[in-house]
Structure 1
Amino acid sequence: MKKVYIKKFAIYASENVMTAKSISEETGIPEDVVREKLGIVSKPVEEKLSLSDLSMKSIEKIVGPADSSLKRLKYIVSAGSDFKDKYVWTLAPSLASKLGVKEALSFDISSQCVGSLVALDMMKSRISSESNFDALISIATKQSHIVNYKDRTGSFMYDFSDGSGAVLISEEKGEYEILQSAFLTDGSFSDVVYAPFGGSFILDKDIWSYKLTVSEEKAWKERMADATLRNFIRVITEATVKSGYDIKDIDYLAFLHTKRSFHREIMDALGIDRSKSIYLEDYGHMQGVDPFISLKLAEEKNLLRPGNLICLVSAGTGWTWGATVILKV
């Protein structure tokens, strides 16, 4: 089977940050709890740039106006936040226009914080079955702006941060070979997190809001506590085995931002040494960008060597858990 690679990737995080102290003042939660339990020392928050602007910030790091990769682009996929520049609007065609690309299929997918891995798997499949083209995946979010910091039921969203990632994938040899992925959706959680604004079945227009809300809080927390650990282990194991490896072969786990205790719990449950992952305490949860932030930090800290096996992991409300295994070239 044809090999497919992450040819290049880049991230962009806003220079403006919200600190643990600021989050404490906003929410009423003690600063030490924000730092130690929620695991947020600081997080990027973007006040000026739109979602499309954020997307371009990372895209321009890997493809410029004269880049030959632009001529090879057949797909441009936006796999980031549904909270976009405009309501009922598709972002990817706007990105294609900004890049001057007129012959690519440009579309958005909506899979929340696991969307980046879903897109990676989709585009790997397309490149495997077709010839001589590249695909560009953009992941951007400004969801810090739709968190209700006064609502304690949504405290697990207090880490939402702003930024973007861009991933160029190709049959041409690149930085990482993309191996196999695994995904699992439990639709019983589908109505737990949403923004009431724009809901076609919401009759009382006075309750419309773009702020995220949480329903079924008690039932959700009780069921999710067991389901999320179990399902993360399942998709990580399945993606690794499908790729021809065992969990013990994983050299680095690029895991999304969660509570500090859960990050430790998942590492211990998998039997992977905690030194083989970086906790994103200075980035918060940047939606589907998280695994790529972790990967970039691992590169910057010289933790990766050719031949290393890396597992990218995320999960999105809905609820879908996902893992993609890649090999350092």
Structure 2
Amino acid sequence: MIRSVVKGSGSALPKRCVSNHELAEKIDTSDEWIVERTGIRQRHIAGEDETTSTLATEASCKALEAAGVSADSVDIIILATATPDETFPATATKVQAALGIKDCVAFDVAAVCTGFLYAISVADSLLRTGMGKRALVIGAETFSRILDWEDRGTCVLFGDGAGAMVLDAEESDEQGILAAKLHAAGEHHDLLYVDGGPSTTQTVGHLRMRGREVFRHAVTNLAEVLTETLEAAGLSAADVDWVVPHQANARILDATAKKLGLDPDKVVVTVDRHANTSAASVPLAFDVAVRDGRIKRGDLVLLEAMGGGLTWGAAALRY
């Protein structure tokens, strides 16, 4: 059976790290208020010379190095982002050029915080049907550019960053992506969206969110899609070595693990250091856990996320 096998991962963060205390000097908030409600203690904010494409390129270089392969061997680049460098062309093509790849498939995927799950699922489909043999899948965001810094309920929640994975099409009975499930419910648009865009306001706009409603949907939807994905892979929660969730809020992570009966020690948590980096959060957290030795070859790993749309999804992979 042809499966999409993770050969290497990488991540990148902006140089500037902003603590809750620093935010409290400019916004009506406090470290205690933010930590109690979200678990976030700091986040990285992109500087003028740091963009979605530069962070994506840095993460990609590290993933290629970890995989031990050259950039010109990549057949497919899929970049998940809600904050592209430009309306068009796809930011993936800028990464392609920066990596020195002369020709390959390159495009962006927009599913907000679920973007990486959508991107890795599309890559898996393309690899298994023979469109290419090697894919570079990236999640990268500069959410700081679309935040309303006067809205203390949202601006403290997000950060910037990127994560990437190299996937190879290989014959394998065990290793690789075992199952993936994706969902969307557009009727919940108003719970999490940006109030601007080229075809409506001709402006970038700012992020708007109804946090309590998003929290409620997140816990229910994520628990259901994780169960659905495990069933599709013929596995149970007891088989799981690690869960790498979208890093939105520590309380969502705790509630989802409890609902599934998962050991909290098996959940990779980086939200305290990175805040919510949207499409970047899952591959960024995965790379952190690989590099610090928690995730090892042969481990069964669940990836999951929910974001604006609403969209949500999960994937089971044997690393």
TM-score, normalized by length of structure 2?
Answer: 0.89
Q: Equivalent pairs: percent with the same residue?
A: 22
* Runs of at least 4 residues off by over 6 Å: none
Q: Which shifted more, 268-277 or 258-267? A: 258-267
- Alpha-carbon distance in 2 for matches of 1:289, 1:200: 26
The letter for the 2-side match of 1:74 is D
**Contact 1:184-1:231 within 8 A present in 2 as well:** no
Residue-by-residue CA offset, 1:102-128 (whole Å, 9 max, x unaligned):
321211111111111111111111111
2:280 alignment partner in structure 1: 289
Q: Would you say 1:51 and 2:49 are equivalent positions? A: no
- Whether the 8 Å contact between 2:162 and 2:284 is mirrored in structure 1 is no
Question: What's 2:195 paired with?
Answer: 196
Question: Does the 8 Å CA contact 2:244/2:302 hold for their aligned counterparts?
Answer: yes
Superposed, 1:1-329 pairs within 5 Å as 1-47=1-47, 48-63=49-64, 69-81=70-82, 83-130=83-130, 133-152=133-152, 155-156=153-154, 158-172=156-170, 177-202=176-201, 208=203, 210-214=205-209, 217=210, 221-222=212-213, 224-280=214-270, 281-328=272-319
Q: Is the 8 A contact 2:72 2:100 kept in 1?
A: no
The one-character-per-residue Cα deviations of 1:206-264 (angstroms, maximum 9, x if unpaired) are xx5532234xx4xx744x44322111011111111111101222111111223322221
SS at match of 1:254: strand
Residues matched between the structures, number: 314
**Which ranges of structure 2 fall in alignment gaps of 5 or more residues?**
none
Superimposed CA distance per residue, residues 144-195 of structure 1 (whole angstroms, 9 cap, x where no aligned partner): 232113224xx24522111111211112489962111112212111233333
> 1:127–1:304: structure 2 CA closer, same or farther, 3 Å change rule?
same
Partner SS, residue 63 of structure 2: coil
| Deviation readout 1:248-293 (Å, 9 max, x if unpaired) | 2211111122332222111111111111113220111111222223
Q: What amino acid is aligned across from residue 134 of structure 1 in structure 2?
A: R
- For 1:103, give the aligned amino acid: D
Deviates more, 1:21-30 or 1:249-258: 21-30
Query: How far apart in 2 are the matches of 1:270 and 1:61?
Result: 33
Answer whether contact 1:26 1:150 (CA < 8 A) is retained: no
Secondary structure of the 1:318 match is coil
The structure having more radius of gyration, on CA atoms, is 1
Q: State the TM-score, normalized to the length of structure 1.
A: 0.87
CA shift in 2, pair 1:97/1:260, >3 Å: closer
Give the counterpart letter for 1:41 in structure 2: R
What amino acid is aligned across from residue 210 of structure 1 in structure 2? G
Comparing 174-183 with 47-56, greater Cα deviation is found at 174-183
Contact 2:9/2:64 (8 A) holds in 1: no
Q: What SS does the aligned partner of 1:178 have?
A: strand
